[in-house]
Structure 1
């Protein structure tokens, strides 16, 4: 392959319409057009050129650093190898003099930079949907239909996003084993997968204050609602405000046979009324979400956590309990403190009845090469049993 810093290609024109960006270009003597699409809401790059198999990782990196995106017109497996090679060039060595909080922010900056640069390799997604313009392209129709719905127009998407769509579809089809259920949860695209089973196990083990009614706040995949149903809770109201999460929860609960006992509601935290049990596994790190999945992990200024706690007493019956399932990783990173959490309980008029703890079992907790290993190894996930004073 010839290392050319900029392949010989005409630039594509980016046109801003009232509700979208459209990219137009000449190819084979014909005018082509495609709508810019990014699930993360990323704006289109300032410049796009067409490239092919002659482009190397070094050349792609130079173009990406210059803010030029590359519409791939070669072989699909070659594009995938190029993306992997480009990823290995985007490195930032750890600095052991940083505090855990500084290292955390440095890692997030690196992740953002990696996403921006890797997102510069684009593919054309045609209706059906298909990437028929590329040689040896896989069949992505089912995966794209699952993630995007019906694609009725030609789109430009990043290759990285398309590969993520395909990977997510694999997890949807295969499902994630949940030992507490003795079954699998099938996460939809853009919905957090219950791969960290320790928080699910806590909900499966804590003593139930009632089998009559429970609220599952921020249900996501529906896994905690399913665990409560499996434990014999007769009626459950599960809420979320993300359409994909609502559809995912409904799909999983119906699959498991709990659909008639669980009401799925689009709500900002709480449904109307009170329940003897309210369960929530909120985002556990203060920070700005940068992707749909980030909303399950990052809570800017701990706003969701505080709103959840402040309103909890108004949605519990007199003898009810709120189960807050949350990791203390933010404390080990120096982003928050245990005093902050206990103060939030007190400000909301809540008392701690009990706390169940568990250590993480995910691979990153034992990965010594991770710059945040010390914090991850010390992490504890807790189920706080709360009630009004």
Structure 2
């Protein structure tokens, strides 16, 4: 078992890991979708290493590069998880304290479990290159990794087994899809790093809320932070004449476009890359001459529900530091609505039950943005953790309500 300081940066080629193995100096690219830094030390490990020894090294900050059987690595990861989960929750803590302790525990769990690494190499067959894991009984990973990481490069990469399992799981979600009741059971296919619409209550709210006045076919709608595109598709299926869906980055817009085509609403829904609201009047012929913003009859937004820091790409759909997206949506909404238009804010009150945001604070933001509440629809959560008394933060989750706030401009 050799240990070597790692974590250097090679300009222009990303972060690298360097270690000694079999008397030779080795190097590989470092990959982490959560943005984790390369580990400070690395030890080569295989099936002979005990779970207790691995746990001790991981807690001390030493990563384990696995060279044994792939299924042995999975078993070791499960054993590490059991050890890191042993600490009981603090009794007598307030809801807010419980949340922050929960987040600290999740961060520590992710850090420890992220110390078990596997190599991800590039295999070549003629002119074709593909990802593979050079371990005994390793699964086929080529398609899943290409979906998550893009076309393979030329160099060996080290990745945490936990992340690789997430990539493989995301591939299965994308392959099988998620049935959506509001779409008549048709399936939405998430991509890696894009939040899956497994919580059907928020989709159901958009499916049953009354549309703004006018013939549905004449309405223009924006879906802000579209993700998989599920809400844009629901609006299209309800007869809305035009839907412009926005999201940041590359993954979510690409995922939404794929689902829009698969659901047959591509003639109604247009997906654009934008931070919150879509852009110029050139894209929207209905915008009045001289107006500085495109307007819509209906603007829908399902922002992340909890004002806390996200620690991974996927968590960005749940955690919104400083309520940036929520406040940005509210502050810009009035200037983007047509005279009789509505904004639909879909938001869980879980943050209120955790003491992270009060109802008065939310209502103050709405009023301060020149908006009023025209109505509200509520739905109880349907996910299993709402009724599981052993789940973290159970009391808050059991009291949770998801609401669709119908907002109108006061000016």
Q: Is TM > 0.5 for Structure 1 vs Structure 2?
A: yes
> Against the structure 1 CA distance between its residues 171 and 43, is the aligned structure 2 distance closer, same or farther, given a 3 Å change threshold?
same
How far does the alpha carbon of each residue in 1:294-352 deviate from its partner, in whole angstroms, 9 at most, with x for none? 11111111121111111101100000000000000001111111101111111011111
In the aligned structure 1, how far is the partner of 2:397 from the partner of 2:6? 46
Q: Give the one of 195, 198, 201 matched to 1:195.
A: 198
Q: Report what 1:339 is aligned to.
A: 360
1:39 paired with 2:33, answer yes
* 1:231 Cα deviation after fit: 0.5
In the aligned structure 1, how far is the partner of 2:208 from the partner of 2:162? 39
In the aligned structure 1, how far is the partner of 2:392 from the partner of 2:143? 38
* 1:371 Cα deviation after fit: 3.8
Q: Give the one of 56, 68, 76 matched to 2:70.
A: 76
In the aligned structure 2, how far is the partner of 1:137 from the partner of 1:18? 32
| Alignment check: 8 A CA contact 2:223 2:299 kept | yes
* 1:10 Cα deviation after fit: 5.2
> Against the structure 1 CA distance between its residues 340 and 15, is the aligned structure 2 distance closer, same or farther, given a 3 Å change threshold?
closer
1:260 paired with 2:264, answer no
Q: Report what 2:350 is aligned to.
A: 329
| Alignment check: 8 A CA contact 1:332 1:375 kept | yes
1:154 paired with 2:169, answer no
* 1:230 Cα deviation after fit: 0.6
Q: Report what 1:280 is aligned to.
A: 301
Q: Report what 2:286 is aligned to.
A: none
**What SS does the corresponding residue of 1:259 show, helix, strand or coil?**
coil
* 1:16 Cα deviation after fit: 2.0
Q: After superposition, where does 1:23-34 map in structure 2 within 5 Å? A: 23-25=17-19, 27=21, 32-34=26-28
Bigger mean CA offset, 181-190 vs 8-17:
8-17
How far does the alpha carbon of each residue in 1:156-175 deviate from its partner, in whole angstroms, 9 at most, with x for none? 00010001100111111010
Q: After superposition, where does 1:163-178 map in structure 2 within 5 Å? A: 163-178=165-180
In the aligned structure 2, how far is the partner of 1:16 from the partner of 1:301? 31
In the aligned structure 2, how far is the partner of 1:30 from the partner of 1:130? 24
| Alignment check: 8 A CA contact 1:310 1:348 kept | yes
1:106 paired with 2:108, answer no
In the aligned structure 1, how far is the partner of 2:66 from the partner of 2:352? 44
In the aligned structure 2, how far is the partner of 1:200 from the partner of 1:66? 44
> Against the structure 1 CA distance between its residues 23 and 300, is the aligned structure 2 distance closer, same or farther, given a 3 Å change threshold?
closer
In the aligned structure 2, how far is the partner of 1:177 from the partner of 1:55? 42
Flag structure 1 segments of 5+ consecutive residues without an equivalent: 1-7
* 1:28 Cα deviation after fit: 5.8
| Alignment check: 8 A CA contact 2:99 2:354 kept | yes
Q: Report what 2:9 is aligned to.
A: 16
Q: Report what 1:320 is aligned to.
A: 341
**What SS does the corresponding residue of 2:351 show, helix, strand or coil?**
helix
Q: Give the one of 270, 277, 281 matched to 2:277.
A: 270
In the aligned structure 2, how far is the partner of 1:13 from the partner of 1:322? 50
Q: Report what 1:4 is aligned to.
A: none
Flag structure 2 segments of 5+ consecutive residues without an equivalent: 124-129, 280-293
| Alignment check: 8 A CA contact 1:9 1:51 kept | no
| Alignment check: 8 A CA contact 1:123 1:131 kept | no
In the aligned structure 1, how far is the partner of 2:210 from the partner of 2:122? 51
In the aligned structure 2, how far is the partner of 1:14 from the partner of 1:111? 23
How far does the alpha carbon of each residue in 1:100-139 deviate from its partner, in whole angstroms, 9 at most, with x for none? 1100110000000000000000011001444442111111
RMSD (Å), alpha carbons: 1.4
How far does the alpha carbon of each residue in 1:47-97 deviate from its partner, in whole angstroms, 9 at most, with x for none? 111111111111111101111101000000000000001000002311221
| Alignment check: 8 A CA contact 2:6 2:39 kept | no
| Alignment check: 8 A CA contact 1:214 1:275 kept | yes
1:239 paired with 2:221, answer no
> Against the structure 1 CA distance between its residues 109 and 352, is the aligned structure 2 distance closer, same or farther, given a 3 Å change threshold?
same
Q: Report what 2:289 is aligned to.
A: none
Bigger mean CA offset, 320-329 vs 257-266:
257-266
> Against the structure 1 CA distance between its residues 132 and 197, is the aligned structure 2 distance closer, same or farther, given a 3 Å change threshold?
closer
TM-score (norm 1): 0.95
1:93 paired with 2:88, answer yes
* 1:33 Cα deviation after fit: 2.8
> Against the structure 1 CA distance between its residues 116 and 10, is the aligned structure 2 distance closer, same or farther, given a 3 Å change threshold?
closer
**What SS does the corresponding residue of 1:127 show, helix, strand or coil?**
strand
Bigger mean CA offset, 56-65 vs 187-196:
56-65
In the alignment of these two chains, the number of paired residues is 382
| Alignment check: 8 A CA contact 1:276 1:321 kept | yes
Q: Give the one of 300, 305, 321 matched to 1:300.
A: 321
